[in-house]
Amino acid sequence: MTISLDYSNMMGDIVAGGVSADDWRGATNNFSTVRAGFERRRAAGELGFLSLPTDALLHRQSTDFAARVRGRFDDVVVLGIGGSALGPIALRTALLAPAWNSLSNEQRGGQPRLHVLDNVDPHTIGALLGRLSLERSLFVVISKSGGTAETMAQYLVVRERLTAATKDAKEHLVFVTDPAKGALREIAKAERIPALDIPPAVGGRFSVLTPVGVLPAALVGIDTKALLAGAAELAGKCAGTELTSNPAGLFATLEYLADTKLGRHIHVLMPYADPLRDLADWYVQLWAESLGKHRSPADGGVGPTPFGALGATDQHSKVQLFMEGPPDKTVTFIAVRELGSDIVIPRLHSDVKELGYLGGHRLGELLSIEQRATAGALARRGRPNMTIHIDRVDAHHLGALFMLLEIATIYAGELYGVNPLDQPGVELGKQFTYAMLGRADAEQARQEWNLLPKPDARYSWGS
Ligand code: PA5
């Protein structure tokens, strides 16, 4: 595996508007404190995601289940939301052939199609359920808490359809949830539905290397061993005690300094490879939900705003904003050295200025040159940016990227002085939803909801 981070364009001596020598010195000296905080959390057993790559028993839960059901299903459908969906989506986009679900069974090598329902929009759910053969479908219900409204609603809809359309609904269900707690675990126990574990010390957005990501991956034939090996290898590279030898420490520190010292509050992750498009979405949730916090209700809140983009596509969209808009962003590129089978651009229209120069180059080469050109152009305009280089998009490198960004998130939590592992800010909205849907234990939220200001006719438009 080859993975490297080039952060030259983040530094003030290279890019006007980059990190100053003083701030860098301060951060370098402070890194031992940051690491100590990380180690404290590890020792307290809070960083369960670190042990996942070497947890052979947990890995086997997924591979054994996948082996048991091999050949029985044409479609695997993940039901989940947030951390219980974004990992499987990122894995699917990165490691399955493009348009996997439209390929023939033969082209998929006999592996099932993979769908992820990560919302409760009836339009999408109705359309998918309407076209599946339920007798040939497996539903993977993923919820750490085992009670998230959206996922439970999806499950109820699916369960009823399965009961109506199949011989035994339970044969088409597998749960991924907390080993002991929550409604899903209870149902699994009572009805003997297979249920795989999300270890208690692994939170939703850090769970991609548990059966949350690994089971769907194993079910469609992704090399889950390589995924975990890549993550383990990267975790090893983050053992460095010096900031400059620790890639996750570097990423977190540079982004933190950019936000807090340079006013670069928006952190863009911009892979130059279609398969990594959804990794950016996964990172956005990880960085946002982990770091957007207040330390006390009075402090107004801290945390960067993560943002996803895709090269070269977004060069014709968001890059104008990155280049000339408010100087409040950093851009982290992910550049891939080998983009699979490359395509030579034919030498046609050689006499036409706008086309002729392209002939003989390769599409992958064009993509790579465009990434370097965009990084250079941003640097020239005093817009800090850095580049993560990987050899190729495969299970090994993807595992490494997941681990890199997860460890960086914990370091960033230390730097911001927030707990990166909780998400108290989403609770009130959930409680209000329960209140409006009439959940029995939501009486207090119902009272609070009733006291909120209601829409005012003076401030509304339309009928
Ligand atoms: O990262 C998180 O903890 C959240 O985004 C959760 O993944 C999300 O709320 C879904 O929760 P659960 O897996 O309990 O259904």
pLDDT, one tens digit per residue, over 10-24 is 999 999 999 999 999
Tokens at 461, concatenated: 């438009």
**Quick one: which H or E segment has residue 75?**
strand 75-79
pLDDT, one tens digit per residue, over 197-217 is 999 999 999 999 999 999 999
pLDDT, one tens digit per residue, over 430-441 is 899 999 999 999
User: What pLDDT does 240 receive?
Assistant: 86
Mean pLDDT of 226-230: 98
**Quick one: which H or E segment has residue 280?**
helix 277-291
Distance of CA 123 to the CA centre of its chain: 24
3-state secondary structure of 147: coil
* CA–CA separation, 403 and 92 (whole Å): 17
For the Cβ of 423 lying below 6 angstroms from any atom of ligand 1, the answer is yes
Mean pLDDT of 324-349: 95
> Residue 393 C-alpha to ligand 1 middle, in angstroms?
26
CATH 3.40.50.10490 residue spans of the chain: 3-42+228-416, 49-222
Q: Identify each DSSP E strand in 214-290 by its residue range.
A: 266-271
To the nearest 10°, report the CA torsion of 275, 278, 280, 281.
180
**Quick one: which H or E segment has residue 213?**
helix 211-219
| Residue of 84, 175, 184, 419 with the most ligand 1 atoms within 8 Å of its CB, for mutation | 84
Beta carbons within 8 Å of 179's beta carbon, 6+ residues apart: 185, 197, 198, 199, 200
* CA–CA separation, 189 and 192 (whole Å): 5
The answer on pLDDT for 341 being more than 90 is: no
445 secondary structure, DSSP code:
H
- For residue 84, the tally of other CB atoms under 10 A from its CB is 30
- For residue 437, the tally of other CB atoms under 10 A from its CB is 10
For the Cβ of 330 lying below 6 angstroms from any atom of ligand 1, the answer is no
Q: Are the C-beta atoms of residues 191 and 170 closer than 8 Å to each other? A: yes
User: What pLDDT does 370 receive?
Assistant: 98
Q: Whose CA is nearest to atom 15 of ligand 1?
A: 143
330 forms beta bridges with 267
- Domain boundaries 3-42+228-416, corresponding CATH code: 3.40.50.10490
User: What pLDDT does 299 receive?
Assistant: 85
Beta carbons within 8 Å of 145's beta carbon, 6+ residues apart: 177, 178, 181, 182
> Residue 83 C-alpha to ligand 1 middle, in angstroms?
5
Which residue among the candidates 46, 150, 255, 289 is catalytic per the annotation?
A: 289
pTM (global) more than 0.95: yes
Residue 250 dihedral angles phi and psi, to the nearest 5°? -65, -50
> Residue 144 C-alpha to ligand 1 middle, in angstroms?
6
The answer on pLDDT for 463 being more than 80 is: no
For the Cβ of 259 lying below 6 angstroms from any atom of ligand 1, the answer is no
**Quick one: which H or E segment has residue 94?**
helix 86-95
Rg of the chain over CA atoms, in angstroms?
24
* CA–CA separation, 309 and 406 (whole Å): 19
The answer on pLDDT for 340 being more than 90 is: no
Give burial (CB, 10 Å; 0-12/13-18/19+) of 346.
exposed
**In Å, what is the CA distance from 235 to each residue of 49, 54, 198, 289, 319?**
10, 11, 20, 22, 32
| Confidence category of residue 226, pLDDT binned at 50, 70, 90 | very high
3-state secondary structure of 102: helix
Q: Are the C-beta atoms of residues 273 and 281 closer than 8 Å to each other? A: no
Please say if 289 is a catalytic residue. yes
3-state secondary structure of 171: helix
3-state secondary structure of 397: helix
For the Cβ of 63 lying below 6 angstroms from any atom of ligand 1, the answer is no
The number of helix segments (H) and strand segments (E) in the chain equals 16, 10
Beta carbons within 8 Å of 244's beta carbon, 6+ residues apart: 28, 250
Please say if 106 is a catalytic residue. no
Q: Are the C-beta atoms of residues 83 and 213 closer than 8 Å to each other? A: no
Mean pLDDT of 157-164: 98
* CA–CA separation, 285 and 290 (whole Å): 8
| Residue of 79, 144, 151 with the most ligand 1 atoms within 8 Å of its CB, for mutation | 144
Closest CA to 128 of 114, 141, 140: 114
Tokens at 296, concatenated: 């006390």
Q: Report which residue type is found at 19.
A: V
The answer on pLDDT for 297 being more than 90 is: no
Q: Report which residue type is found at 123.
A: H
For the Cβ of 289 lying below 6 angstroms from any atom of ligand 1, the answer is yes
Please say if 324 is a catalytic residue. no
- The CATH H-level (homologous superfamily) assignment of domain 49-222 is Glucose-6-phosphate isomerase like protein; domain 1 (3.40.50.10490)
Closest CA to 181 of 143, 140, 139, 141: 143
Question: How high does pLDDT run on average in the chain?
Answer: 96
* CA–CA separation, 89 and 92 (whole Å): 5
Q: Report which residue type is found at 116.
A: V
> Residue 42 C-alpha to ligand 1 middle, in angstroms?
21
Residue 99 Ramachandran class (φ > 0 left, ψ -120 to 50 alpha, else beta):
left
User: What pLDDT does 295 receive?
Assistant: 85
